[in-house]
Amino acid sequence: MSPSARRTGRPRSAEADRAILGATRAALMELGWAKLTLSDVAARAGVAKTTLYRRWASKCELVVDAVAAVFDEHLEAADHGSLHADVEAAVIRLGTLLERPETGTALMAVIAEAMHDEALRCRVRSAILDRQKRLVTVGRERARLRGELPYEEDPEAAARNADLIFDAMAGTVLHRLLVSAEPVDPRWARDFTDLLLYGLTGAESGGTAATGSAPEGAQKPAGSV
C-alpha cells in the first residue's frame, strides 16, 4: 500500500495546532491541572473535541506539548561571540520566558503532576528537557571551536557534563523566579554566569578536566563547563 493510500482525512493544520496549544496553556493557567479538560480546551480553541483526540492521545501529552512549544519557539543557541556572552544571554532568555505567566504557571503545574505520574515525567523529559539540553551541546561545541573549552574525547563524560550544566542553569533560574520570586535581571545573570564559569574561588578548577583558554583579562572557565 502506498503512503498516499494509507493517509486518510484532512492534513493537519498548523494554525489549529497553535490555537489548541495556546488554549491549553491559558486553561491550565486559569483552571489548574485537575480542572482542565479537553472539552474546555476545544471550546477555547474553536475546534471540535475529536480534533484534539486525533492529535493527542491524552491530556498529559497535550499539556506537555503545549509547554514544550513555548520553549522551542523562544529558546535558541545564539552566537554572541564568547562563552560568557552566550551563557549570560541564555540565562536572560530563560528568565524572560519563565516570567511569562502562561509559561511559568503551566510548567510548574506539569512538574507538580509529574512528581507522581511516571508516564508524564517521561514525556516531560523527552519533549522538554532533552530537546533543550541540545542547546547546551551546541553552545559547548561553539566554545570549543573558539578555543574556550577543551575537546572531550569521552562521549559519556561529555553527556554527563552537559546534563550537569543544564541542571545548574535551568534549576537556578527556576528557583530564582518561581521559588524565591526574584527577577533574573542583567546584573544577576552576569553574576550567575561568572559563578558558573569560574566557580566559587574564581580560579581554575582543581578537577581532572583540562581547561580551555579564557578571553584576555578573564579567568579560565572550569573544564567541566
pLDDT at 6: 39
> pTM to 2 decimals?
0.75
Inter-helix orientation angle 130-146/59-74, to 10°: 20
pLDDT at 85: 94
pLDDT at 15: 85
Q: Determine the Cα–Cα distance for residues 175 and 172; give it in Å rounded to an integer.
A: 5
Q: What contacts 146, CB < 8 A, 6 or more positions away?
A: 82, 83
> Which grid cell sits at 114?
509529574
pLDDT at 12: 61
pLDDT at 218: 43
pLDDT tens per residue, the chain (225 residues)? 444 443 344 456 788 889 999 999 989 888 888 898 999 999 999 999 888 888 888 888 898 999 899 888 888 878 899 999 999 999 999 999 888 877 888 888 888 888 888 888 998 998 888 888 888 999 999 999 999 999 888 989 988 999 999 999 999 999 999 889 999 999 999 999 999 999 887 655 433 333 334 444 444 444 444
pLDDT at 203: 56
pLDDT at 220: 44
Print burial letters for 127-139: b (CB count within 10 Å at least 16), e (below 16).
bbbeebbebbbeb
Residue 156, amino acid: E
Q: Are 224 and 115 a contacting pair, CB within 8 Å?
A: no
> Which grid cell sits at 78?
545564539
3-class SS of residue 201: coil
Q: Determine the Cα–Cα distance for residues 41 and 21; give it in Å rounded to an integer.
A: 9
